[in-house]
C-alpha cells in the first residue's frame, strides 16, 4: 500500500506538471500509471484465476502458491486511478503528501468502501475543525455506526443461515425445490444488502466521529423502479467511478445506440470482475449489463409511444419495483453460486421444476434454528416455514417501506453532497439527540454487540 | 436535549442493557461454567446441555480436578456412573461427549491430567470413533490445557468463552430457552458429568427405529481393503497416543467396547460394516499390547461388551406399545445405567454373582480374538434364526435409511 501511495502521488504530481507537454507524451504517462496500478491489482487478485483458466483450456498444470491479497487493494487502486486521471485532466490541486496518505489509508472506508474521491476527502482534511472533538459529530457518528453494526451483525449475519445450506446443496448436485430456492435467494438478497450497506454505514459513522463526511453509498436500492435506478442507488460510489472513469472515456452514449449498449455491457462486466476473480462475477456483471440495455431500450420505446409505465400509476409502479427486485435476485444467484451449474440448479428450483415444499436436507439444517429461535422459546409449535416467513417478512418491510440511515439522519447531513446524493423522500422517522432516540439506539446497539460473538454449538443429531 | 445528554443516556442505556443480559446469563448459567446456584424451575435442568458439553466439561474439569475419568461418547454419558463402587476413593468425573472423536479424547485426557494427576481412567470405545472424520477436534482445542496453562492462546480462549457466555445473543437465547423449558425437559447434566434422562414418556418404539436409521445414515465405512486409509490410520495413531500417555503417566487404564442392542449389530452386518469393526478391534488390542511391551508393563485390560448376550438380545419394541419397558437399553445404542453398572462390576471384578448369572463381556487379548469372533458369528446366526420379525424390521429400516440418504445427499 505504501508503495502504491508513493508511486501514485509521484505520478500524479508528474501528470499535473505535464499539462503543457505534448498530448501523446502526457497520455502515455497516464496510460503507464493506470497500467501499473492494474498490473499490481491483476497480479494479487487475478493471477490464480487466469492460471486456473489456462490450465483448464490447455490441459497444463501450472501451479502457483496462494497469493495473499493486500488489504483493500481493490478500493485503493480505483481511488488512485481516479486521482491519476484527474491529475491528467488538471483537476487536482497541489495536495499535501500526508493528506494524500490519509486519503488512501483512511481506515473507516478502507476495506469495504465507499470508494471515496480525492476531491471530497482532501478538502476536508484541510479543515482544522476535524482535529478537535465535537459532541455533535460524535452523537451522529456513533448513531450511524450502531445502525450499520446492527444491519451487519444482526440482520445480514442472522439471515445468512438460510443461504449456505441451499447453495452448498446445489453445488453438490442436490435437487433444489421451489421453497428452498426462493428462501435462499431471497435471504441472500437481503444478506448482501444489509451486509454491504451496514459496512458503508459503519464507515460513514466512524468517519463522522472524526468530523469527516463520506459519500452516500446505498440509497434503498431495492425501492428502485428499474435497473438504471438500481445502479444509481446500489454501491453508488462504484457506479460513480465506473461512469466517470470508464463509461464516459469509452464514449458513453455519445456514439449512437449500439455503441452505448456495448459500452454498458463492457462496463458492467468489468464492474463484475472487480467484485471477484471468478466467472460467476463476470456473468453477474454481464447479466446486469444486459438488464441495463433492455431498460434503456424500453425507455426508448416508452418515449416513442409517450407512456411511462414506471411512474404512470401506483400499480404499474409497484409492478416495476417488483420486476426490478426479481431481476436483481436472479442476478444475485449467479453472484453467490460457486459455478454456473449450481446457479442453474437454483434457478430451476425457483422456476418450480423440482417440486415445491422445503426439501428434507434443508429441513434438517433448519431444525436447530427453529429450536433456538426466540419465537420458538415463547411459542411452542413453530414450523420451519413459519420461521422462514417470520424472519424474512420484516426485511421486506424494511427494504420497501422503511427510511434508510441517511433519511433518518437527514437533518444532520450524514454524508457529503454528491450528484448522486439525492434523498428525495422525507422520512417518517427523523433522528434527534433525544432521550427516546438514545433509548432506541442503545437497544439496537446492545443487540448488535450481543450478536458479535457466540458460544460454539455442537450440532448433535437428536430426536 | 443537547448532544452531551444524548451521549450520556446512550452510554447509560447501552451499558445497563449489556449488564442486565450479563447478569441474567450469569445467574442462569446455561453452560454450567460459572457454577451459579441451581434453582428449581429456573436453571436446575441444563436444557440443551449436549450442545455445549465441550465447553462445560472442559470447565468442570478445571473446577473439580478429578483423579479418575470415564471417557467416551454419549453412551458413556448416559450409562457409566462415577458413583459406581469401583470408583470409591476417587474423585471421578464422567467425560462423555456426544460424538467424541479420538483426537478429542486425547486432548481432554491431557487437559484433565494437567490439573490433577489421573490415577484411573475408563475409556469406553465406540466403533464410530475410528471411522468418522475428525471434525470436532478443533472445537475445544484452544481452551484445553493439553499444552499447559501458560500459553496465551489458552487464556484468550477462556476469556472469549466467558465473555461470550455473558454477553452474547446466543447465550441470552440459551438462558431464556433453558428457563422456559424447565417444566418439560427430561434430560439433565449432573455435576459429576453424567447425563440424566427420565424414563417417563420415553418412546422406545420410535427411538429404536430412528437410532437404527441414524446409524445407517452416519456409518460411512471405508471398504475393508482401504481400511488403512489416512483417516483410519490417523484415528488408530491417536488411540496409540492415548494408550501411550496412560502407560507413560502411570494411569491405570480400563479399555472397553460399549454394548449395543442386537439390532445394532445386525445392522452393521447387513450394511457390510462388520469386517471393519473386527479389524479395528484387532488393531486396538494389538496396539495396547505393543505399547505395554514398549513400557515393559502388563497390558491394560480390554473388555469387549459388543455382540450378543442376555442383555443385548432383550426384546425390542416390534409394535407401538406404551407399556413396553426396556430394562437395559434406551434404543439400539444407548444403554441404561443399570447395564453400565454391570459393565463396571465386570471390569473392576465386583459383584461376581451377576456375571455368573448371564455371561457378559469378554476380556480380549490377541490370543482369544479369533475364537471370540467365531462365537459372535455363531451368535449372529442364532439371533437371525430366532428373531425373524426383528430381522424383517431391520431390513425395512435399512431400505428407508438408504432412501433418506439419497434425498439428503452429502449432508
What DSSP string runs through B203-252? -HHHHHHHHHHHHHHH--PPPGGGTTSHHHHHHHHHHHHHHHHHHHTT-E
Nearest to B6 among A139, A458, A462 (CB): A139
- What's the grid cell of residue B155? 487464556
A117 counts as catalytic: no
State the pLDDT at residue B1: 63
Record: contact B170-A455, CB cut-off 8 A:
yes
Q: How many Cβ pairs within 8 Å bridge chains A and B?
A: 143
DSSP code for A416: B
Percentage above 90 pLDDT, chain B: 59
Q: Is A30 within 8 Å of A84 (Cβ atoms)?
A: yes
- What's the grid cell of residue B309? 448376550
User: Helices B3-28 and B169-180 meet at what angle, rounded to 10?
Assistant: 50
Record: contact B14-A445, CB cut-off 8 A:
yes
Please report, for residues A245, B105, B254, B312, the alpha-carbon distance to residue B125 in angstroms, rounded to integers and kept in the order given: 66, 10, 10, 17
Nearest to B17 by CA among A373, A146, A95, A161: A146
Record: contact A442-B7, CB cut-off 8 A:
no
Record: contact B3-A138, CB cut-off 8 A:
yes
Strands B120-125 and B187-189: unpaired
Q: What is the pTM of this model?
A: 0.84
Strands B92-96 and B195-197: unpaired
When scoring B3, B4, B6 by the number of chain A Cβ atoms within 10 A, the one with the most, hence best to mutate, is: B6
Nearest to A41 by CA among A286, A276, A250: A276
Q: How many CB atoms are closer than 10 A to CB B307?
A: 22
Record: contact A460-B99, CB cut-off 8 A:
yes
B182 touching A, CB under 8 A? no
Range scoring the smallest mean pLDDT among A54-58, A458-462, B210-214: A458-462
In whole angstroms, give the CA distance from residue A89 to residue A72: 26
pLDDT in tens, A393-418: 999 999 999 999 988 988 888 888 65
pLDDT in tens, B12-61: 999 999 999 999 999 999 999 999 999 999 999 998 888 889 999 999 99
Please report, for residues A212, A220, A365, A390, B369, the alpha-carbon distance to residue A149 in angstroms, rounded to integers and kept in the order given: 19, 17, 27, 22, 62
pLDDT in tens, B75-120: 999 999 999 999 999 999 999 998 888 988 999 999 999 999 999 9
Q: Looking at A26, A99, A118, A275, which residue is catalytic?
A: A275
pLDDT in tens, B290-325: 999 999 999 999 999 999 999 999 999 988 877 888
B residues 270-299 lying closer than 8 A (beta carbon) to A: none
Nearest to A377 by CA among B167, B44, B203, B48: B48
Å from B188 to nearest chain A CA?
A: 15
Å from A379 to nearest chain B CA?
A: 10
In whole angstroms, give the CA distance from residue B181 to residue B288: 45
Q: Using the CB atoms, write b or e for B235-257: b if 16+ within 10 Å.
A: bbebbbbbbbbbbeeebebbbbb
B141 touching A, CB under 8 A? no
Q: Show residues of chain B in contact with A460, CB under 8 Å.
A: 50-51, 74, 98-99
Nearest to A322 by CA among A399, A385, A265, A389: A399
Nearest to A377 among B1, B55, B176 (CB): B176
State the pLDDT at residue A420: 46
Query: DSSP 3-state assignment of A431?
Result: coil
Q: Which residue has the cell 447425563?
A: B195
φ, ψ at B272 (rounded to 5°): 80, 20
Q: Show residues of chain B in contact with A434, CB under 8 Å.
A: 1, 6
Amino acid at each position: 500500500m505504501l508503495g502504491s501511495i508513493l508511486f501514485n502521488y509521484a505520478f500524479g504530481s508528474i501528470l499535473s506538471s505535464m499539462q503543457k507537454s505534448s498530448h501523446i507524451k502526457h497520455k502515455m504517462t497516464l496510460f503507464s500509471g493506470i497500467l501499473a496500478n492494474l498490473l499490481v491489482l491483476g497480479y494479487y487478485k487475478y493471477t490464480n484465476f487466469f492460471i486456473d483458466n489456462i490450465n483448464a483450456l490447455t490441459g497444463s498444470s501450472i501451479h502457483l502458491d496462494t497469493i495473499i491479497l493486500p488489504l483493500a487493494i481493490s478500493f485503493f487502486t480505483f481511488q488512485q486511478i481516479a486521482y491519476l486521471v484527474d491529475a491528467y485532466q488538471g483537476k487536482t490541486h497541489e495536495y499535501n503528501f500526508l493528506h494524500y496518505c490519509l486519503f488512501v489509508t483512511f481506515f473507516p472506508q478502507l476495506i469495504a468502501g465507499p470508494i471515496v474521491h480525492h476531491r471530497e476527502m482532501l478538502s476536508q482534511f484541510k479543515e482544522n475543525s476535524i482535529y478537535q472533538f465535537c459532541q455533535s459529530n460524535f452523537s451522529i457518528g456513533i448513531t450511524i455506526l450502531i445502525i450499520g453494526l446492527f444491519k451487519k451483525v444482526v440482520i445480514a449475519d442472522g439471515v445468512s443461515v438460510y443461504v449456505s445450506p441451499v447453495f452448498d446443496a446445489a453445488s453438490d448436485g442436490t435437487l433444489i425445490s421451489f421453497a428452498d430456492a426462493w428462501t435462499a435467494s431471497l435471504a441472500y438478497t437481503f444478506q448482501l444488502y444489509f451486509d454491504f450497506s451496514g459496512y458503508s454505514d459503519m464507515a460513514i459513522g466512524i468517519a463522522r466521529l472524526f468530523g469527516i463526511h463520506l459519500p452516500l453509498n446505498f440509497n434503498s436500492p431495492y425501492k428502485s423502479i428499474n435497473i438504471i435506478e438500481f445502479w444509481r442507488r446500489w454501491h453508488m460510489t462504484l457506479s460513480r467511478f465506473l461512469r466517470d472513469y470508464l463509461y464516459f472515456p469509452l464514449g458513453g452514449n455519445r456514439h449512437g445506440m449500439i455503441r452505448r449498449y456495448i459500452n454498458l455491457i463492457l462496463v458492467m462486466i468489468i464492474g463484475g470482475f472487480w467484485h471477484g476473480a471468478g466467472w460467476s462475477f463476470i456473468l453477474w456483471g454481464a447479466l446486469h449489463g444486459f438488464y441495463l440495455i433492455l431498460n434503456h431500450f424500453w425507455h426508448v420505446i416508452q418515449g416513442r409511444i409517450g407512456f411511462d409505465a414506471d411512474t404512470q400509476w401506483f400499480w404499474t409502479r409497484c409492478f416495476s419495483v417488483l420486476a426490478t427486485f426479481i431481476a436483481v435476485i436472479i442476478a444475485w444467484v449467479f453472484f453467490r453460486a460457486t459455478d454456473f451449474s449450481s446457479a442453474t440448479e437454483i434457478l430451476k428450483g425457483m422456476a418450480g421444476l423440482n417440486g415445491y415444499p422445503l426439501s428434507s436436507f434443508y429441513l434438517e439444517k433448519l431444525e436447530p434454528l427453529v429450536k433456538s429461535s426466540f419465537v420458538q422459546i415463547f411459542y411452542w409449535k413453530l414450523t420451519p416455514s413459519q420461521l422462514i416467513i417470520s424472519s424474512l417478512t420484516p426485511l421486506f418491510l424494511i427494504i420497501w417501506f422503511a427510511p434508510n440511515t441517511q433519511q433518518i439522519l437527514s437533518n444532520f447531513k450524514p454524508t457529503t453532497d454528491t450528484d448522486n446524493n439525492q434523498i428525495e423522500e422525507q422520512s417518517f422517522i427523523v433522528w434527534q439527540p433525544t432521550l427516546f432516540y438514545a433509548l432506541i439506539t442503545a437497544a439496537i446497539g446492545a443487540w448488535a454487540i450481543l450478536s458479535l460473538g457466540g458460544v460454539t454449538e455442537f450440532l448433535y443429531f437428536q430426536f | 436535549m443537547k448532544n452531551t445528554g444524548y451521549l450520556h443516556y446512550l452510554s447509560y442505556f447501552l451499558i445497563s442493557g449489556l449488564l442486565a443480559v450479563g447478569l441474567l446469563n450469569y445467574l442462569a448459567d446455561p453452560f454450567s461454567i460459572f457454577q451459579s446456584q441451581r434453582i428449581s424451575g429456573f436453571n436446575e435442568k441444563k436444557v440443551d446441555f449436549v450442545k455445549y458439553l465441550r465447553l462445560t466439561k472442559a470447565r468442570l474439569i478445571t473446577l473439580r480436578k478429578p483423579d479418575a475419568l470415564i471417557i467416551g461418547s454419549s453412551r458413556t454419558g448416559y450409562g457409566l456412573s462415577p458413583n459406581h463402587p469401583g470408583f470409591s476413593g476417587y474423585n471421578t468425573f464422567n467425560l462423555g461427549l456426544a460424538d467424541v472423536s479420538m483426537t478429542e479424547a486425547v486432548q481432554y485426557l491431557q487437559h484433565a491430567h494437567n490439573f490433577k494427576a489421573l490415577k484411573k481412567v475408563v475409556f469406553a470405545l465406540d466403533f464410530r470413533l475410528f471411522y468418522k472424520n475428525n471434525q470436532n477436534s478443533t472445537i475445544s482445542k484452544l481452551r484445553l490445557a493439553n499444552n499447559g496453562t501458560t500459553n496465551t492462546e489458552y487464556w484468550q480462549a477462556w476469556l472469549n468463552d466467558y465473555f461470550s457466555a455473558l454477553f452474547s445473543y446466543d447465550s441470552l437465547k440459551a438462558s431464556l430457552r433453558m428457563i422456559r423449558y424447565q417444566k418439560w425437559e427430561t434430560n439433565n447434566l449432573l455435576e459429576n458429568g453424567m447425563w440424566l434422562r427420565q424414563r417417563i414418556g420415553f418412546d422406545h418404539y420410535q427411538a429404536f427405529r430412528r437410532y437404527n436409521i441414524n446409524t445407517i445414515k452416519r456409518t460411512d465405512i471405508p471398504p475393508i481393503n482401504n481400511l488403512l486409509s489416512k483417516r483410519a490410520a490417523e484415528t488408530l495413531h491417536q488411540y496409540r497416543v492415548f494408550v501411550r500417555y496412560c502407560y507413560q503417566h502411570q494411569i491405570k487404564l480400563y479399555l472397553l467396547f460399549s454394548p449395543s442392542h442386537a439390532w445394532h449389530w445386525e445392522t452393521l452386518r447387513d450394511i457390510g460394516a462388520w469386517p471393519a469393526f473386527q479389524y479395528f478391534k484387532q488393531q486396538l488390542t494389538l496396539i495396547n499390547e505393543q505399547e505395554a511391551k514398549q513400557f515393559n508393563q502388563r497390558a491394560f485390560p480390554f473388555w469387549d461388551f459388543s455382540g450378543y448376550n442376555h442383555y443385548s438380545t432383550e426384546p425390542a419394541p416390534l409394535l407401538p406399545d406404551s407399556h413396553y419397558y426396556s430394562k437395559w437399553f434406551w434404543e439400539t445404542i444407548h444403554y441404561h445405567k443399570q447395564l453400565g453398572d454391570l459393565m463396571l462390576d465386570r471390569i473392576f471384578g465386583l459383584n461376581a454373582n451377576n456375571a455368573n448369572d448371564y455371561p457378559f463381556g469378554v476380556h480380549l487379548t490377541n490370543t482369544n480374538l479369533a475364537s471370540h469372533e467365531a462365537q459372535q458369528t455363531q451368535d449372529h446366526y442364532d439371533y437371525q434364526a430366532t428373531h425373524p420379525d426383528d430381522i424383517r424390521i431391520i431390513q425395512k429400516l435399512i431400505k428407508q435409511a438408504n432412501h433418506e440418504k439419497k434425498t439428503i445427499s452429502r449432508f
